[in-house]
């Protein structure tokens, strides 16, 4: 998963600024700022969540738990680093979902955590802002899917070469 900022991180920042400055989208209830230190875990894979996160500043690492076998421990490789202007947690926006990855801080920083249910209610009342927001999310998902496809292709090519299978194709 590569850091994806379709169109522009500035566009998302502008959308979120409009959202956070609206007096009907209450800080403390609908959203909050979370400050973090290096090595803090912001999201733990396997837990259920319903929040969306926007990185105001700092660097976060997306990690997965990968089992190596029954007798071996799991490894936790970093699959992507996220930074200022990036968004994560969008798969849990519509309903509480089990988080598929963990998010660990690489540096100090701050994220804005948005309550998914309250965000959807707010955007339903503001279709123009909602359209722009979901158009951005759709673009983000497409960009991340393309990145994931490239990673799968690279891993497949590596595996074929590592096992000498490429010589027989």
pLDDT over 80 (residue 153): yes
- For 111-142, what is each residue's pLDDT tens digit? 999 999 999 999 999 999 999 988 988 888 78
Domains of the chain by residue range: 9-68+75-164
Do 109 and 36 contact (CB within 8 A), yes or no?
yes
Global pTM?
0.76
Domain 9-68+75-164 -> CATH class: mainly beta
Report for 10-24, 93-107, 142-156: range of highest mean pLDDT? 93-107
- How many whole angstroms from its chain centre is CA 155? 22
CB 64 within 8 A of CB 148: no
Q: Which residue has the higher pLDDT, 96 or 10?
A: 96
Task: Return the minimum-mean-pLDDT range out of 2-11, 19-28, 82-91, 160-169.
Answer: 2-11
Q: How confident is the model at residue 6 (pLDDT cuts 50, 70, 90)?
A: very low
- Residue located via tokens 């490429």: 166
In Å, what is the CA distance from 111 to each residue of 91, 93, 128? 17, 16, 25
What 3 state SS string does the chain have? CCCCCCCCHHHHHHHHHHHHHCCCCCECCCEEEEEECCCCEEECCCCEECEEEEEEECCEEEECCEECCCCCCEECCEEEEECCCCEECHHHCCCCEECCCEEEECCCEEEEEEEHHHHHHHHHCCHHHHHHHHHHHHHHHHHHHHHHHHHHHHHHHHHHHHCCHHHHC
């Amino acid at each position: 998963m590569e850091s994806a900022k379709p169109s522009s991180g500035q566009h998302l920042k502008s959308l979120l600024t409009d959202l956070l400055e609206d007096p009907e989208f209450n800080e403390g209830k609908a959203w909050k700022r979370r400050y973090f230190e290096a090595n803090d875990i912001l999201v733990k894979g396997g837990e259920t969540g319903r929040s969306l996160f926007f990185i105001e500043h700092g660097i976060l690492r997306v990690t997965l738990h990968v089992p190596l076998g029954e007798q071996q421990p799991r490894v936790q490789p970093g699959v992507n680093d996220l930074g200022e202007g990036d968004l994560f947690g969008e798969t849990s926006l519509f309903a509480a979902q089990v988080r598929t990855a963990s998010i660990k801080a690489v540096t100090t920083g701050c994220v804005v955590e948005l309550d998914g249910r309250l965000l959807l209610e707010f955007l339903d009342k503001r279709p123009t802002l909602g359209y722009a927001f979901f158009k951005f999310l759709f673009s983000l998902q497409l960009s991340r899917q393309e990145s994931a496809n490239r990673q799968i292709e690279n891993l497949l090519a590596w595996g074929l070469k590592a096992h000498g299978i490429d010589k027989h194709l």
